[in-house]
Chains A and B, each alone.
Chain A
Amino acid sequence: EVQLLESGGDLLQPGGSLRLSCAGSGFTFSRFAMSWVRQAPGKGLEWVSAITSTGGSTYYADSVKGRFTISRDSSKNTLFLQMNSLRVEDTAIYFCAKGVGAMVRGASDLWGRGTLVTVSS
């Protein structure tokens, strides 16, 4: 079955760190760009970060630049998001999404169910 499965969400205090993972299966993971998209409670979608199929290029939203790092291990079919200096406003469901091609400029045609990150004191 073609799917993405996120993990790693947690409740933590402001200033903390967390690493999210996204395991892909049923497709050739190494051929596709991947993204992270988040959704705060009751709010819309917010693009967070993306990485090309090779991992050679990464992109970030201004709101997370310098705090979050996207990476991938294609030998393990896994996407990561390292989140540092977390803020209350980072509270959201984090979705990983598969791109339609190797480059990031394109639609996302497969999404995981998401993992919840809650930042609260």
Chain B
Amino acid sequence: SYVLTQPPSVSVAPGRTARITCGGNNIGSKSVHWYQQMPGQAPVLVVYDDSDRPSGVPERFSGSNSGNTATLTISRVEDGDEADYYCQVWDSSNDHWGEFGGGTKLTVL
């Protein structure tokens, strides 16, 4: 399968910038989507196709993707951003499709 590697946890102080990475072989050639999941709730799409934001998602959320690493960047972090974040790609090789990364717990200090 296509393996996506995320750090289990990232900690950041309020007002600072958080960067959550998603590593995969030549991931820069794929479209990466990012989801936020609050405890006990369904995931919410925050970035799609590497760097696009759905309507309603604050501009503080941005994404980039190059080489072997995609990155979700959250600027001016707020307490309400504390959640789990997952990256996802669709990989058609060998019939492996909607792969998710293992998830990153963002803690706001």
Which residues of A approach B to under 8 Å, CB–CB? 35, 37, 44-47, 50, 59, 61-62, 95, 97, 100, 104-109, 111-114
| Contact indicator B43/A107 (Cβ below 8 Å) | no
Give 17 A-B contacts (CB < 8 Å), ordered by A residue. Answer: A35-B98, A44-B84, A44-B100, A45-B35, A45-B43, A46-B100, A47-B100, A50-B98, A59-B98, A61-B97, A62-B96, A104-B97, A105-B31, A105-B90, A106-B49, A107-B88, A111-B42
B16-67: which residues lie under 8 A (CB-CB) from chain A? 31, 33, 35, 37, 41-45, 48-49, 54
* A59 and B86 alpha carbons, distance in the complex (Å): 21
Residues of B within 8 A of A95 (CB): 42-43
* A100 and B33 alpha carbons, distance in the complex (Å): 12
| Contact indicator A107/B48 (Cβ below 8 Å) | yes
* A112 and B88 alpha carbons, distance in the complex (Å): 18
In the assembled complex, the CB of A117 is this many whole angstroms from the nearest CB of chain B, namely 16
Q: Do A45 and B103 form a contact, CB below 8 Å, given A59-B97, A111-B42, A112-B42? A: yes
- Cβ-defined partner of B1 (8 Å) among A37, A62, A104, A112: A62
In the assembled complex, the CB of A99 is this many whole angstroms from the nearest CB of chain B, namely 10
Q: B91-102 toward A: CB 8 Å interface, digit per residue (1/0)? A: 010011111111
B86: nearest chain-A partner, CB-CB: A45
A46: nearest chain-B partner, CB-CB: B100
* A109 and B88 alpha carbons, distance in the complex (Å): 13
